[in-house]
């Protein structure tokens, strides 16, 4: 690439022979400032476990810009059980799910040239806003089972990860309408494992417009400049059908939650979870990937 000519016709750096020092947005000299306390993947740096009491004791200024708002509390007691009477109504409140790992299924090549599907590690592209929190729902004992039904809360988070090849995959991490059950009715202990299905709404809603101005409930019916191809009725229509006819896809997900910590005095429970769901379909235009989300969760058992 040719070097830039300055107004005086000379090639090279600064007209006076010296390169100016870098200044920041406020005009101060110096190098590039480090923004935030997160790592390269946008996640907060690893830290010691925080209990619910620890988080409640922090002020806004202590939390601001640290990534702690994306953290779930943890239970520092690992033994015990919480009894559930069949004649009483219970709820799970303050439920929080914090992902630690995102794996996406894609085709990978083997040593002998074979192609197989496998879950691969990804790079998180979303800032520290991917934790689900404030979730609550009903908890009841039914014979030899304990059933939890999710009702409300911040139960979805738009998340994007990047595959090793550079492709970025958006999806809606959620547990909407979760119905999870566990064996061992009558109590919750460190041996309790919940599992069940949930719904995954579309990543985008009906008001979204694509780059050509097409949408599900608003926007153009077809891409401008392509009416002849679409009106063909045969090959042309099949090419544009998925891009033109937007739809709100609702898919199914599955989650398993294993409790490994209980504080019977406060009703707190904590553990790990694994959730499997589909990624975004671009409103029906793309084939989704399977995504595996692993992390920790926290909740409190209270009487309704």
Q: Is 138 helix (H, G, I), strand (E, B) or coil?
A: strand
In a domain, 32, yes or no: no
Give SS3 for 105: strand
How much is the pTM? 0.77
Residues 128 and 239 in one domain: no
pLDDT for residue 20 is more than 60: no
Is 23 contained in some domain? no
Torsion of CA 119, 120, 121, 122, to 10 degrees: -100
107 and 234 housed in the same domain: no
Tell me, what CATH number does 115's domain have? 2.40.160.30
Percent of the chain with pLDDT over 70: 79
Query: Is position 278 within any domain?
Result: yes
Q: Please tell me the distance from the alpha carbon of residue 75 to that of residue 63, in angstroms, as a whole number.
A: 20
66 is a domain residue: no
Same domain, 157 and 192: yes
- The confidence score (pLDDT) of residue 41 equals 42
Task: Identify whether residues 212 and 97 lie together within a single domain.
Answer: no
Rounded CA separation 266/146 (Å): 19
Q: Identify which of 133, 200, 215 has the alpha carbon closest to the alpha carbon of residue 170.
A: 200
Q: What is the CATH number of the domain that holds 219?
A: 3.30.2050
- The confidence band for 26, taking pLDDT boundaries of 50, 70 and 90, is very low
Residue 213 shares a structural domain with residue 192: no
Structural domains in the chain (count) = 2
Q: What is the pLDDT of residue 241?
A: 74
pLDDT digits (tens, 9 = 90+) for 125-169: 998 899 999 999 999 988 889 999 999 999 999 999 999 999 999
**Same domain flag for 240 and 280:** no
Q: Is the pLDDT of residue 259 over 60?
A: yes
181 and 298: one domain?
yes
Condensed to tens digits (0 to 9), the pLDDT of residues 182-240 reads 998 788 999 899 999 999 999 988 888 888 888 888 887 777 665 655 555 566 566 67
**34-38, 57-61, 137-141: which range is least confident on average?**
34-38
pLDDT for the residue numbered 86: 81
Residue 47 forms part of a structural domain:
no
More confident residue, 284 or 69: 69
**Do 234 and 254 belong together in one domain?**
no
Instruction: Decide if 238 is inside a domain.
Output: yes
Residue 270 — φ and ψ, nearest 5°?
-150, 160
225 and 127 fall within a common domain: no
Statement: residue 87 has pLDDT above 90: no
* 273 shares its domain with 160: yes
Q: Average pLDDT of the chain?
A: 81
Q: Is residue 38 part of a domain?
A: no
Do 118 and 140 sit in the same domain of this protein?
yes
Percent of the chain residues past pLDDT 90, beyond the cut: 48
Q: Flag whether 150 is in a domain.
A: yes
Structural contact between residues 214 and 221, judged by C-beta atoms closer than 8 angstroms: yes
Q: Which domain holds residue 217?
A: 206-247
Q: What confidence tier does 19 reach under pLDDT thresholds 50, 70, 90? A: very low
Same domain, yes or no: 210 and 267: no
């Amino acid at each position: 690439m040719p070097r830039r000519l300055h107004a005086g016709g000379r090639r090279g750096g600064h007209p006076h022979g010296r390169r100016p020092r870098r200044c920041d947005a406020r005009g101060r000299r110096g190098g590039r400032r480090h923004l935030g306390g997160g790592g390269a993947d946008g996640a907060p740096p690893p830290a010691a476990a925080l209990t619910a009491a620890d988080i409640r004791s922090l002020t806004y200024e202590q939390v601001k810009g640290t990534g702690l708002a994306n953290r779930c509390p943890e239970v520092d007691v690992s033994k015990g059980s919480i009894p559930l009477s069949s004649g009483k109504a219970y709820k799970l409140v303050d439920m929080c799910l914090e992902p630690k790992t995102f794996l996406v299924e894609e085709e990978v090549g083997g040593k002998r040239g074979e192609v197989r599907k496998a879950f691969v590690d990804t790079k998180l592209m979303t800032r520290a806003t991917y934790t689900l929190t404030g979730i609550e729902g009903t908890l009841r004992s039914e014979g030899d089972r304990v059933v939890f039904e999710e009702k409300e809360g911040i139960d979805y988070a738009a998340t994007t990860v990047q595959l090793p090849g550079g492709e970025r995959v958006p999806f809606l991490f959620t547990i909407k309408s979760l119905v999870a059950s566990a064996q061992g009715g009558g109590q919750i202990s460190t041996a309790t494992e919940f599992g069940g299905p949930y719904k995954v709404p579309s990543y985008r809603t009906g008001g979204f417009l694509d780059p050509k101005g097409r949408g599900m409930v608003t926007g153009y019916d077809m891409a401008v400049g392509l009416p002849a191809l679409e009106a063909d009725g045969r090959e042309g229509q099949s090419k544009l059908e998925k891009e033109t006819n937007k739809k709100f896809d609702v898919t199914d997900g599955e989650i398993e939650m294993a409790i490994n910590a209980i504080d019977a005095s406060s009703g707190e429970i904590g553990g790990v979870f694994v959730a499997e769901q589909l990624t975004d379909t671009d409103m029906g235009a793309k084939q989704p990937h399977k995504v595996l989300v692993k992390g920790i969760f926290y909740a409190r058992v209270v009487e309704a």
